[in-house]
Every structure is written in structure tokens, then in C-alpha cells.
């Protein structure tokens, strides 16, 4: 149950058309914030979710753009902040498991880690959050706001969907610490590190892989997008003395 009143506050959520990002949009907007949903311009889910939430009385608008592309990410951030009028919370959630990936790639399959694969992963999962935060820094400091990055327990030593994915999330965790130093003392920066999430990303994964994961988890289930969004919301809107931290949200898997 959301009890914090965010009327007059604003948020920008990247990768907000589905999964964790959409769940975060739901929470921030339900609490009264005006929310910009970033999504790929060619993804129809973005505009569909904007219309759905607007019809429910939420203050929502679309902020299309690809955070993996230099220049485009910065233009998207600038346009969203201009429309919002200020920026209190930035959720760097946009990510990718890699082009064409529908299931985890065995760590020993180094040949699958092509230059194209590495480039797609790093540009979205690591450099994308850097681009967005750099572009939003002045607005975040002015509002004494907060950033939350969506990392992964793959960046904390767990086996992820690929070597490149795990490396990108480990880099994002380190970047979170660096950005916390840069944003301080006016603004904060933290990260969540989800375990297995029951989301569109993992729907195609082999059932035995998901079952094996949940059996090794204390709470014996995968997380929902809402589980992760609750922690993102907490780190952004509360936790006033917490910065530079990464919180695993994995049901005790690690």
C-alpha cells in the first residue's frame, strides 16, 4: 500500500513499457507523481500503457527514445525534463539480455559473445544509465532527487543470462557508487539487483532453469516486477541516508 504523497513530484522511468519499469511507473503515478515513460519509439506498448494510465486519471506521458544511442538518450532526457518542469526521480531501468536472446547462454559458449553482442549489452545496460544520469544531473541536484539503477544479482557474482550480461551489471553496480559520489550531497544514487523475475524477458526461458532457480531461493519463488518496483520506490522516495548502495532483491538466493 502506497502511503507517500508524491503530488508535485516527477519521475522518469526508462524501459517503462513493460516488466519492472512499468511496475515502477504504476507505483510512482499511483502516489501522485507525474511520470514520463521512456520506451523505444517502435514499441507500441509504450503508447498503449500511456493511454491506459491516462484513462485511469494518472499524470503520465510518453518519452520515446533509445538510451543505447549517444545523443538520442540525452535528447530524450532533456525533452522529458522540459515537459515535466523538474525531475525528482530517475529510474534507469532500460536493459537488454542481448540481441536475439530468448534463453540463457552457457558461460562456456564464448563464441556467442560477439563484438555485436557486447556492444548491444554495454551500450544499453551500462553506458545508457550513464548517459541518462549525466543529462539529468543538474535537474536532480536542483530537486535534491534520487536515481535508482536496475542492476542484477548477475553483477554480484551469480550466474546471469550470459557473460556479457553479468559483466554489464557488475559495471553498473560500480557506476552506481561513482555516480553517488558525483551527485552528492544534493542527490542520491542507488541500485536494485533483482534475481529471477517473472517478466516478459524470462517467459521463454526453459522451465527447468526457472524451477532450479526457485528451489535454491529461500522464499521458493521468482520475484514479480512489483516486488522489484517496491524497492525502487523505497530507494527513491525514502531511505534519505542511503546512497551508493546496491540492494539484492532475490528472495534470499544469494
- 131: nearest Cα among 146, 144, 149, 116: 149
Helix/strand/coil for 175: helix
Q: In what order do the strands lie in the sheet with 188-194?
A: 60-64, 34-39, 10-13, 89-92, 146-150, 188-194, 246-249
Task: Give yes or no for a contact between 223 and 23, defined as CB atoms under 8 angstroms apart.
Answer: no
What pairs with residue 193 in β-bridges?
Answer: 248
Neighbours of 163 (CB within 10 A): 21
Q: Check: CB of residue 77 under 8 Å from CB of residue 147.
A: no
Decide if 213 is catalytic: no
Could you tell me if 201 and 186 are in contact, meaning their C-beta atoms sit under 8 angstroms apart?
no
End-to-end CA distance of the chain: 27
Q: Which of 165, 201, 213, 233 is the catalytic position? A: 165
d(CA 250, CA 254): 7
Q: How many residues would you count in the chain?
A: 254
212 grid coordinates: 532450479
Q: Which residues are catalytic?
A: 165
Amino acid at each position: 500500500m502506497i502511503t507517500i504523497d508524491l503530488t508535485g513530484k516527477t519521475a522518469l522511468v526508462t524501459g517503462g513499457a513493460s516488466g519492472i519499469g512499468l511496475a515502477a511507473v504504476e507505483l510512482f503515478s499511483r502516489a501522485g507523481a507525474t511520470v514520463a515513460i521512456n520506451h523505444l519509439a517502435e514499441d507500441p506498448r509504450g503508447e498503449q500503457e500511456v493511454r491506459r494510465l491516462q484513462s485511469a486519471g494518472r499524470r503520465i506521458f510518453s518519452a520515446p527514445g533509445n538510451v543505447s544511442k549517444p545523443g538520442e538518450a540525452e535528447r530524450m532526457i532533456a525533452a522529458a525534463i522540459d515537459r515535466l518542469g523538474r525531475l525528482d526521480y530517475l529510474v534507469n531501468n532500460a536493459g537488454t539480455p542481448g540481441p536475439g536472446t530468448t534463453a540463457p547462454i552457457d558461460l562456456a559458449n564464448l563464441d556467442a559473445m560477439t563484438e555485436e553482442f557486447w556492444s548491444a549489452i554495454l551500450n544499453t545496460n551500462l553506458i545508457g544509465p550513464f548517459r541518462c544520469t549525466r543529462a539529468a544531473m543538474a535537474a536532480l541536484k536542483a530537486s535534491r532527487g534520487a536515481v535508482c539503477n536496475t542492476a542484477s544479482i548477475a553483477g554480484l557474482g551469480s550466474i546471469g543470462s550470459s557473460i556479457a550480461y553479468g559483466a554489464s551489471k557488475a559495471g553498473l553496480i560500480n557506476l552506481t557508487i561513482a555516480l553517488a559520489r558525483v551527485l552528492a550531497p544534493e542527490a542520491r544514487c542507488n541500485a536494485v539487483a533483482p534475481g529471477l523475475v517473472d517478466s516478459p524477458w524470462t517467459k521463454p526461458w526453459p522451465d527447468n532453469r526457472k524451477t532450479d532457480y526457485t528451489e535454491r531461493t529461500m522464499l521458493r519463488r521468482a520475484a514479480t516486477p512489483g516486488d522489484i518496483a517496491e524497492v525502487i520506490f523505497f530507494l527513491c522516495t525514502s531511505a534519505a541516508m542511503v546512497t551508493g548502495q546496491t540492494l539484492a532483491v532475490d528472495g534470499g538466493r544469494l
